[in-house]
Amino acid sequence: MGILTALFQLFMFPGVLFLVVAALLASWLDRKMVALWQARVGPPWYQPFADLIKLLAKEDVMPAGGSTALGAALPIFSLACTLAASLYIPVFGQAVGSFPGDLVVVLFLLSLPSLGQFLAGWLNPSVYGVIGGNRSLLQYFAYEVPLLMGMIAPGVLSKSLTIDILTTVQHPWRWHLFMLPVGFAISLLGLIGKLKRVPFDIPNAKSEIGAGPLTDYSGRKLALWQLTVALQTLVGLHLLVDIYLGGLSPARAGWGVPVFALKTLMLLAVLSLVQVLFARLRIDQLSTIGWRLLVPLGLAQLLFSIWI
């Protein structure tokens, strides 16, 4: 029974199947909320599933001069890293695995898809891909350091870098959000940069460089890249809920699971609202914000956590 339980957790819940379905539904909710903010109707609930199936069935073309093997390996590698990170993040109070210091490993695994997109832009001779890859790497250095500071601050405050412990010490209402609001804001902005969402969608600015590093990708490869982004969104939101919003609070009359889902939905609504309210920044503006504003704030938050 132990093996069967482990396999169920790995492949069903809270593992791969649940995450893929939930990520696609979250992608639909994101698009629907953006449409509502803009007084549009938005897509039907099955649109992300239809898009994924359509791309998987399309012809997979690689331009001349590109590396076919590496072009296929990068989206698989990025998807695998995202799924591996999700194994250690409690979802509705359950995680496939946990070990001391797993927060550091999760943050490392979630950073690798960004580097994968940088390499993806350099694989093909397209100038759009090269520019998008360069922007992806520059943006990586602008948001990753503040994101790490924002995520580590609760660990310093609670004297642990284990996600399960960071979630437990917040019960019942001692959320890290109340103690470290600056760290939460920095983490949320870092997540937006990692997902390359507006206003930090600089590497894949459609009006400037097409799809950026993914311009020359099609078919199954593009489907895997898009699925990776959808999974990164859901996994990142779950991580924020666990570290700053108390995760699965002690269930009273069975309300623990709905409240966890509501917290995730509220953060997703914030991301969609930011996408509607703000325009895209330039890469130099993002670097200035990252290094001259977010990094000093992150350092101040860390010093505050150490002082407490």
User: In 3D, which of 19, 155, 26, 150 has the Cα closest to residue 94?
Assistant: 19
Using CA atoms, how far apart are residues 154 and 242, in angstroms rounded to an integer? 11
Tokens at 47, concatenated = 């649109």
Alpha helices in 100-162 (DSSP H): 102-123, 127-158
C-alpha dist (Å) from residue 162 to 159, 209, 288: 9, 40, 32
Using CA atoms, how far apart are residues 209 and 211, in angstroms rounded to an integer? 6
pLDDT given at position 251: 53
pLDDT given at position 6: 82
Residues 183-196 have pLDDT tens digits of 999 999 999 999 99
Decide if 206 is inside a domain: yes
Mean per-residue pLDDT for 91-114?
92
Decide if 6 is inside a domain: no
Tokens at 240, concatenated = 């924020």
Please return the burial class of 100, using the count of CB atoms within 10 Å of its CB with bins 0-12, 13-18 and 19+.
exposed
Decide if 71 is inside a domain: yes
Phi then psi for residue 39, to 5 deg, are: 60, 40
Residues 212-237 have pLDDT tens digits of 899 889 899 999 999 999 999 999 99
DSSP H or E run through 191:
helix 181-195
- Above 60 in pLDDT, residue 86? yes
Query: Residue 91 pairs with which residues in a beta bridge?
Result: 94
Decide if 39 is inside a domain: yes
Residues 261-302 have pLDDT tens digits of 999 999 999 999 999 999 999 999 999 999 999 999 999 999
Decide if 221 is inside a domain: yes
Decide if 11 is inside a domain: no
pLDDT given at position 242: 95
Domain that holds residue 261: 16-307
pLDDT averaged over every residue in the chain: 91
- Above 70 in pLDDT, residue 7? yes
Mean per-residue pLDDT for 140-168?
93
User: In 3D, which of 259, 263, 273, 256 has the Cα closest to residue 241?
Assistant: 263
C-alpha dist (Å) from residue 4 to 15, 83, 94: 13, 20, 16
Per the structure, how many domains does the chain have? 1
Decide if 199 is inside a domain: yes
**DSSP assigned state of 99:** -
pLDDT given at position 254: 66
**Highest-confidence segment of 117-126, 170-179, 244-253, 295-304:** 295-304
pLDDT given at position 234: 96
Decide if 83 is inside a domain: yes
